[in-house]
Copies of this chain bind each other. A is one copy, B any other.
Amino acid sequence: MNKNIRIADVARAAGVSTATVSRTLSNPAVVGIETRARVMAAVEATGYRVNTAARDLRQRRARSILVLAPNLANTFFGRIIATIQEVAGSAGLSVQVSDSRAEAGRIEALGHDGRADGIILLDGSLAPEILARWRLPVIELCEWNTRATLPGLAIDNAAAARLAVDHLADLGHRRVLHIAGPEGNVLAVTRRDGFLTSAAQRGVAASIAAGDFTMASGARAARDWVSRPDRPSAVFAASDECAFGFIAECHRMGISVPDDVSVVGFDDVDFADHYIPALTTIHQPRVRLGRFAAQRLIAALTEHRPLAPGRELIDAHLVVRHSTAPLQG
């Protein structure tokens, strides 16, 4: 506010030059042992803190990474962001967050204003032209635009869909409904296609209901489903929230899960284990995803080299709980 202690003040207090103070703080090894002590004492006495704007300007970097997600309020991103923050924090980087939907008009600037050294992108729906114009390292996490070719990290969604289908088929279900995610969303498409392929291979009759990952869309799908003459006996929802919506609506309609219909979710959010019934779902290792992405980006930044290109898929697994059961007679 009032007192702005500069490095020059510390230098004066310690009777050395500003260069020596700077070196003491950032590279103590090169400074004489007793000078070092004198400087540290002066730093202590003055209460000096580096001015990061000045340092950032001189060093041409921001010591900050940006996490860009389509909807910050979404439960799913919470833990990922928390993990990224943890990794970044211990590397001395700060984390800024932005909502790629709310900030749609400002997106382009985010990669150009120099406030961030790198970006972790959790939104696969951004225009590739914008991404291409960014001049900083970007890593796509969980989803990506198939037209772009940035480094990325995600789970193998097709394989995950297969796990769900196999589980339901093993339980004896012959007709399975998939409540899909929004058209155009890469995750939604990959899961749906994985579902259709696996269902065909297992000889399971597959049908698709429109959805958008939300509970509301799950509830809607339930109302449609219930009025079908040939109701599938099992449902694979593209997200846990969607599954919750479906189950809640079934409950309201007096239909029992898993007695009357089996339901598999996707994500394994924290609530899944405590829902009623506890939800059988695909577990996404969100901590690993967040950690890997952050580490990969930060390593590139600190080693001052570009991100290694290439997309990496990691395995998800199925967590069997109580929302699925063998097909009734």
A18 to chain B, nearest CB (A): 16
Q: A1 to B306, alpha carbons, bound, how many Å? A: 11
Contact A96 B99 (CB under 8 A): no
A85 to chain B, nearest CB (A): 6
Instruction: Give A4's nearest chain B residue, CB to CB.
Output: B60
| A253 part of interface (Cβ distance < 8 Å) | no
**Which residues of chain B are within 8 angstroms of A106 by Cβ–Cβ distance?**
89
A141 to chain B, nearest CB (A): 16
Contact A75 B72 (CB under 8 A): no
Given the known inter-chain contacts A73-B79, A278-B248, please indicate yes or no for A52 contacting B96, CB distance below 8 A: no
Contact B274 A245 (CB under 8 A): yes
Instruction: Give A79's nearest chain B residue, CB to CB.
Output: B73
**Which residues of chain B are within 8 angstroms of A82 by Cβ–Cβ distance?**
71-73, 99, 102
Interface string of A253-292 (1 = CB under 8 A from B): 0000000000000000011011111100000000000000
Contact B96 A94 (CB under 8 A): yes
User: Which positions 101-154 of chain A face chain B at CB distance < 8 Å?
Assistant: 102-103, 106, 109, 112-115, 135-136
Given the known inter-chain contacts A1-B135, A115-B64, please indicate yes or no for A54 contacting B57, CB distance below 8 A: yes
| A251 part of interface (Cβ distance < 8 Å) | yes
**Which residues of chain B are within 8 angstroms of A248 by Cβ–Cβ distance?**
274-276, 278
**Which residues of chain B are within 8 angstroms of A114 by Cβ–Cβ distance?**
49, 51-53
Q: A136 to B2, alpha carbons, bound, how many Å? A: 11
A237 to chain B, nearest CB (A): 13
A92 to chain B, nearest CB (A): 9
* Number of interface residues, chain A, beta carbon within 8 A: 58
Instruction: Give A69's nearest chain B residue, CB to CB.
Output: B82
| A295 part of interface (Cβ distance < 8 Å) | no
| A81 part of interface (Cβ distance < 8 Å) | yes
User: Which positions 207-233 of chain A face chain B at CB distance < 8 Å?
Assistant: 215, 219
Q: A99 to B112, alpha carbons, bound, how many Å? A: 26
Given the known inter-chain contacts A64-B115, A114-B51, A278-B248, please indicate yes or no for A96 contacting B98, CB distance below 8 A: no
**Which residues of chain B are within 8 angstroms of A314 by Cβ–Cβ distance?**
none
Instruction: Give A216's nearest chain B residue, CB to CB.
Output: B274
A273 to chain B, nearest CB (A): 8
| A78 part of interface (Cβ distance < 8 Å) | yes
Contact of A98 among B94, B115, B136, B270 (CB under 8 A): B94
Contact B78 A73 (CB under 8 A): yes
| A97 part of interface (Cβ distance < 8 Å) | yes
**Which residues of chain B are within 8 angstroms of A112 by Cβ–Cβ distance?**
49
